[in-house]
Each structure stands twice: as C-alpha cells, then as structure tokens.
Chain A
C-alpha cells in the first residue's frame, strides 16, 4: 500500500520534471559554441554526478544512526540500515550513469574515453568503494551484515576526502591533461533552466527510487523477523 502511494505521487512528479528537463535540454538550451550538440549530454551528466555525491551522505548518516542505536533502539536501527542500503545502491547507479555519460561525452570532445584526471579518478574511486560496500553486504549473512556494512560505510566516508585530496596532489605534481571547455569555465545563463529542471527531475527520481527500495527492504526485514518468530514459537510448542 505504502509503496503504491510513493509511486502515485513520485512517478508523475518525476516524469513531469524530467520531460520538462528533456524539452529544456534538447530544444530550449542554445547549442554550445565549440562542442555543438554533444554538449547537451551535460544536462544528464551533471545531475547524475551531483546525485552520486549526495546519496553517500545519506548512506553515511544512516550508518551512523544504525551504529548508535543498534542496541538501544533496534527498530530504528533496522530502519536506518534499510535506508543505508537503499542510498548505497542509488549512489552506485548514479555514479555509473555519471561515469558512462562522462565517457560518452569525453570521446568526441577530448578524443579519449578516459583520462586519469583528478575528478574522474576520484569519482571512479567512489564507485569502487561503493561496489565493495555492496559486495560486503552480499557476502555476509545473518545479523552481522548490517553492523559490518555500517562500519565499512564509516571507513568509506573518512576515506573519500583523503582520496580526493591525494589525487589532487598527485595530479598537480604532474602536468595536467588538456581539458578543453569544461563546464567550470562558466555556464551561459540561457543554459541554466535546463540544468535546474534536470537536477530537480533526477533528484525526485532518485528520492522516489530510494523510498521504494527502502520500503522493499523494510518488508524483507519484516518477513525475516516474522519467520524467525514463527520458528521460535514452533520450538516452544509442547511435544506430544
């Protein structure tokens, strides 16, 4: 029931925003001077990258709540863990989309699929760390999964800034690769509406998916608890 409500509200809203975003990005925003139409992938690349940087914070906060409350308030801890899982998966999806769109954009513009530039490299590290987080969740069983995953999430949260700084130092020591016409050199004001519509659209889309995944994980937890309870009750039945 609750999942249906999320879909009823979230899906029309997200689709409206994304349609508007698509219209703005493809028809309203001006064609970029040097890169041409290929630059329009930016309106999808940028929101995915921002979302991939947003959801790790949700994951970290939820993991901290889990670690803090797993003894004192197990029900809240379970909810926090479901949120941590949902946001980690969402991080990985947006990170993958960001990397893929970035490569598709880089090939025609820079002439290469990939360069070990500071932002690309640290983004790839973020992707690797969240893959290992989800692998850990898959490889562990029973009650330990949640604690171990929360611990790894704390490690990841502390590691990511170190990764970022170290890669900056690494790259400034060497001549930096040629990066032509990055969006950082300033965006034309007429391009901003497309950016905002797409950001809002992908944000709502991401939040909706996280909510759905969260509710699904909660249901799985409930089923697991229910069957554990039934097994316990069955063992208490007097044997004839």
Chain B
C-alpha cells in the first residue's frame, strides 16, 4: 500500500465512525453556538462594534469547540488497544497523523459552514473588505488549529487528566496563529488594514508546524 492509500484508509474509517455516531460534530456545533450566543449577551454589541469583535469571538469559539473534538480523536483508538496495534503496523505513523488531521479539518469545516451564516445573522455582519478572502483565512486558520491540536492530543493521550492538559499546552503554542486569524478576519470585516500579511503568516505557520508534527509524530506515538 502506498502512502496516500494508507492515509485514505485511516481517513475513511474516521469519517465513517463520525458519520455513524456524529459525536464530534454535534458536540462542537452546539458548543460553538452556545459561545456565540453567550458572547452576544455578554457584550450586546452594536453593528459597528460587532464588526470589530466578531473576528475574535468566531475564532475563540472555534478554538474551544475544536478542543472538545480533539480530545475524543485519539481516545477512540485506545479502546481494545487499537493504538498499540497501529504502533505495530508496518504503515508509516505520519500517515495515521495526517489522516487524523484531515478528519478533524473536515469536522471543523462543517462547523464553520453551519456557524458562518449564523454569525452573520446574529451579529448583523457585512464585510467592508474583500469578503472572499475569508475563503482563504478560514481553511488556513482551521488547519493551524487542528494540526497542533491533533498532535498535542496525541501527546497528552496517556497522561493524567488529559482532557485538561490539551488546552493548557495547545493554547500557548497557538497564540501567534490565533492572533493572525483574528487580525485577518477583523481586517477583512472592517477594511481598515490589509489582511495579506496575516494570511501569509498563517500559511507559513501551517507549513512549519505541519512539517514539525509529521517529523516528530513517531517519537510521540512510541513514547512509553
């Protein structure tokens, strides 16, 4: 089996599991919807204010929501020692990691497709900048979240209270990515500055950390 087929096999299994249970997507969707509603109550923003703050709220909601899904992504594999079997399998460990990243990426993208219109409705948003650039910012930002998130979920898998540890190590490392996502989104919504720099930075962040994760995943998977 070549690399792409191994990735696809893992991915297909994860997608089928999710299709049947819908655990991750349902949890994330309701959670992020709650965050949107809560923030709306907390700030009660006017149209001009919401343009300034909704970029931040969108990404913080997605960050929190994706943590709930990321925590489940590897615990599934612990049942019946599936993860040990995968460690013994001759297929490259990075293929397993890549497929998990793709699966999580797809889940969070589904959330965004549902959440995006709701956001526009609840916060009365209308982009003053080039709205189509969001089609770049959203996937790049999501990738930045799920690459490191999937990696750190694997890293904290066999620790005590892992559900708590994941955000504690993921958030500090993700701060530059979060900054770039929020700045790019706000720049697009308000058209006060140029989002180009931040989009390029997100792209660079994705490339750097995806490479690093793929290189180091075997080390983490085989850690005692």
Contact = CB atoms under 8 A, between A and B. Distances in A.
A151 B197 contact: no
A132 to B, nearest CB: 5
Nearest to A131: B172
Interface centre among B159, B171, B193 (most CB of A within 10 A): B159
B34 interface: no
A189 to B, nearest CB: 38
A139 B156 contact: yes
B136 interface: no
B160 A163 contact: no
A158 B165 contact: no
Interface stretch (B19-27, B90-98, B101-109, B175-183): B175-183
Most chain B beta-carbon contacts within 10 A, residue among A67, A162, A165:
A162
Interface string A149-177: 00110111011001101110110010000
B219 interface: yes
Contacts of B219: 67, 147, 151
Given A151-B155, A166-B180, A173-B193, A144 B216 contact: no
Contact of B223 (A144, A156, A162): A144
B73 to A, nearest CB: 17
B155 A152 contact: yes
Interface in A104-119: none
Interface string B141-178: 00000001000000110111110010011011101100
Contacts of B212: 154-155, 158
A132 B171 CA distance: 9
B216 A154 contact: yes
Among B155, B197, B208, the one with the most A-chain Cβ atoms within 10 Å of its Cβ is B155
Interface of A: 67, 125, 128-129, 131-132, 135-136, 139-144, 147-148, 151-152, 154-156, 158-159, 162-163, 165-167, 169-170, 173
28 contacts: A125-B172, A131-B172, A132-B172, A135-B165, A135-B168, A136-B155, A136-B168, A139-B160, A141-B160, A143-B224, A144-B159, A144-B224, A148-B159, A151-B216, A154-B216, A155-B209, A155-B212, A156-B173, A158-B209, A159-B172, A159-B173, A162-B176, A166-B179, A166-B180, A167-B179, A169-B198, A170-B179, A170-B183
